[in-house]
Chain A
Amino acid sequence: QVQLVQSGAEVKKPGSSVRVSCKASGGTFNGFAIGWVRQAPGQGLEWMGGIIPAFGTSNYAQRFQGRVTITADESTSTAYMELSGLGSEDTAVYYCARGRDWAYDILTGYSYYMDVWGKGTTVTVSS
């Protein structure tokens, strides 16, 4: 059974960047998407973007466009999410998740549901 193992907690200064990794253990990314979701303290879930590792194609939620970059290395079954221009509002737990049964529509982009989740990476932005 595949597990997604995320990198450890980070503390960052305002204005800096953070890079979170997500490695598939016990399996690969073959045929799947990887999505990134964050959750601010006491708040709900927010989708940030995702990638189809087989194609290297990524897409992002509009509110994060220009600030987030999602990449993947199929050879190591590892995905990365980098968020720049950090502010206190970016303090959150960041999750990666495996996207299942993905499909592509030219109008609506990539669709997939997320069936396996990492345990999350806490990112704290503080001066």
Chain B
Amino acid sequence: EILLTQSPGTLSLSPGERATLSCRASQSVSSSYLAWYQQKPGQAPRLLIYGASSRATGIPDRFSGSGSGTGFTLTISRLEPEDFAVYYCQQYGSSHTFGQGTKLEIK
């Protein structure tokens, strides 16, 4: 099973700042089958990025994904108040596994 480790566990930033979230896989993720989801309290997850770098429909361009192999990054260029949430990476190239999440909180 491919394990995903997200870092940091918690990220404290202010609106307008840049956020960089990391997701490391225990083995190479085939075909860059890596997705990122945003989840707010009491809500279902929301797809942000698939295929490591493709934005889902309706996702603002301040969200971008990059990486391949075992290292992936989600970048939010300028934080808006509504971006503070928990973010999960997921690999779907070999079964499906999620990272443990990064909580993005307001500083």
**Contacts from A to B (Cβ < 8 Å):** 35, 37, 44-47, 50, 59, 61-62, 95, 97, 100-101, 105, 108-109, 111-115, 117-120
Contacts and interface: CB of A to CB of B under 8 A. Distances in A.
A100 B57 CA distance: 12
Contact of A44 (B30, B35, B47, B100): B100
Nearest to B33: A111
Contacts of A95: 44-45
Q: Which 4 A-B pairs have the closest CB atoms?
A: A47-B96, A117-B44, A113-B50, A113-B35
Interface string B82-96: 000000101011111
A105 to B, nearest CB: 8
B88 A45 contact: yes
Given A108-B94, A109-B94, 14 more contacts: A44-B98, A44-B101, A45-B37, A45-B90, A45-B101, A47-B96, A95-B44, A100-B50, A111-B33, A111-B93, A113-B90, A115-B50, A118-B44, A119-B44
B14 interface: no
Contacts of B47: 113-115, 117
Contact of B92 (A112, A117, A118): A112
Contact residues of A: prevailing secondary structure: strand
B30 A108 contact: yes
B40 interface: no
Contacts of B88: 44-45
B56 interface: yes
Interface string B32-72: 01010101000011110011000011000000000000000
B1 A47 contact: no
Interface in B12-30: 30
B75 interface: no
Nearest to B43: A119
